[in-house]
Amino acid sequence: MTAYNQRDVFYLLSSSMRRVARLVLVAGVTLPPAFVFAPRAHAQAAAEPADAHSRILLVLPFDNGTNQPSLEWIREAAPELLTSRLLSAGFAPLSRADRRYALDHLGFPQNFHPSRATSLKLAQTLDADSIIVGNYTTSGSTITAEARIVDVPHLKMSQPVTAQGDMHSLIAVFDTLAWELTKQLDPSFPVGEETFVAAGANLKLEAFEQYIRGIAEPDHNERLAHLQSTVKLSPDFADAWMALGREDYASQDYEHAADAFSKVTGNNPDALEASFYRGLSLLYTGNYPNAEAAFTSVARILPLAAVLNNQGVAISRQGHDATALFRQAVAADPVAPDYHFNLAVSLKRHGDANGATAELAQYLKLRPNDSEAVNLNTAWKQPTGAAPVEPLERIARSFDAVAFRQAAAVMDQMESARLTALPPRQHAEALVAHGREYLSRGLVLEASRNANAALQVDPGNAQAQALLREIAAKQGQK
């Protein structure tokens, strides 16, 4: 945090993200070179904190205007596709998990079809600035999708944008709609429609339909069957692997969960969360070295308290000293009782009886009725100072996935602010390098966005121009 002012960084963030940002700062995050994103001019962002790309968007399920129950799955397909493309374009759309959290918070069932008034409540619960609503209809083999943007603070609705095409090209239809929405949100956005369409070109429609059914079905076994079909049809579909991992994890099939989470890597937005849950799955199966590796990979980028704690547990279960990690977890979240308990146990095990007693006393202040801790405290006060059974450090089993994603988003904005302090040429080179990394993974929209951003920073940059030519060639353009 030495390259730019912390106060300016907090000014860039929405109020719902500032609490998480403080956790990130307390944890002492060091950002790796891989976190390089399209720039947002620092002076302009400070003057206009609510610019198009910093606004939080909530894409709601579309209304089914076809009168065909067999096409009901497209209701959920629409926000999945639009959210994915808007995220790739550099906006801040909320995830399906965020929407489900808000519905639960408001007391509505997950399959609830919100009215306009309820949609506004959802947006306010999630601190969203804009809602995207829409519908789809069919005529013969043609599907037409329409969407509007609702400005939540001002209760204004935009003019509709539409896209249509053959049902077999449903993904391309919604990719086009995402481009239309992007141009409405940011008329100066430099990436063309063909790049949005190319972003979904490798996704099989059959696999995508199975994926949507796999995340939307109410029955666990049905979801599992659909998701297993998805990854057979599209083995590189990371979102499906993530969903499958969650299903396996929820049913305590930890070996299969670890395998599924391992498929979510690289620049995927869920990669860090996948590594965290892979680490948990490996802990539960006793694979402590690989669990340590999983948590370590997350902690290098996003050292939240739960990550540091579980990294320490994995190390401790191998017979090594993890006291330093438990200290970091306590510092990152001092009001979480179990982190004090773990630090106490680790200190006692490694010869610091006084420190252990002090940490256990702190734990008992936060959770005075824990019988294990009360008995442990009594045993440690005996002349021998030993407990009948040595306790194990506790795993952080529940995890705030929303906070996890928000913390990652905070880091993205912090890194964007850091980049603006670089000379234009270095700034552009960093963006081009990240664009090439995206292109190597087939993520043409992200690659194009970074290349165009580099040209905004350093007009005429030869590397950025070369990258755009490679993207055009990959898309089959002249």
**Domain co-membership, 33 together with 73:** no
Per-residue model confidence (pLDDT) at position 112: 72
The 10s digit of each residue's pLDDT in 283-309 is: 999 999 999 999 999 998 888 899 999
pLDDT of 131 > 80? The answer is yes
Q: What are the angstrom distances between the C-alpha of 136 and each of 63, 165, 208, 212, 234?
A: 7, 11, 17, 16, 26
pLDDT value at residue 125: 80
**Residue 39 pLDDT exceeds 80:** no
Segment 211-223 shows an average pLDDT of 95
pLDDT, average across residues 193-204 = 92
Out of 159, 181, 201, a domain closes at 201
The CATH number of whichever domain residue 446 belongs to comes to 1.25.40
Confidence at residue 438, expressed as pLDDT on a 0 to 100 scale:
84
| pLDDT number for residue 50 | 42
C-alpha span between 192 and 185 (Å, rounded): 14
Predicted pLDDT of residue 400: 66
Shared-domain flag, residues 96 and 174: yes
Q: Is position 70 within any domain? A: yes
Q: Is the confidence at residue 218, as pLDDT, over 70?
A: yes
| pLDDT (0 to 100) of residue 109 | 77
How many domains are there within the chain?
2
* H-helix or E-strand spanning residue 134: strand 130-139
Residue range 138-155: average pLDDT? 94
Q: Tell me which residue has tokens 């089959």.
A: 476
The percentage of residues in the chain with a pLDDT greater than 70, rounded to a whole number, is: 85
Identify the pLDDT of residue 51: 60
- Model pLDDT for residues 257-287, shown as the tens digit of each residue: 999 999 998 778 788 889 999 999 999 999 9
Assign 121 a pLDDT band (cuts: 50, 70, 90).
confident
Tell me the helices (H) and strands (E) count for the chain, helix number first. 23, 7
Q: Do 26 and 120 reside in the same domain of the chain?
A: no
In a domain, 434, yes or no: yes
Is 308 among the domain residues?
no
Q: How crowded is the C-beta side of 19, counted as CA atoms within 13 Å?
A: 7
pLDDT tens-digit map of 378-420: 999 888 767 677 899 999 987 666 666 667 667 777 777 888 8
459 domain-assigned = yes
239: in domain: no
pLDDT greater than 60 at residue 33: no
Average pLDDT (234-238) is 94
State whether 57 and 193 are in the same domain: yes
Q: Is residue 63 part of a domain?
A: yes
The Cα–Cα gap between 211 and 231 comes to: 9
Domain membership flag for residue 65: yes
**Is the confidence at residue 5, as pLDDT, over 70?**
no
Q: Tens digits of per-residue pLDDT, 465-474?
A: 999 999 888 8
User: What mean pLDDT do residues 364-368 have?
Assistant: 96
Element (H, E) at 445: helix 444-457
Q: Are residues 63 and 100 in the same domain?
A: yes
Rounded distance between C-alpha atoms, residue 297 and residue 318, angstroms:
18
Residue 167's CATH number: 3.40.50.10610
Supply the range of the domain harboring residue 160. 53-201
Same domain, 48 and 140: no
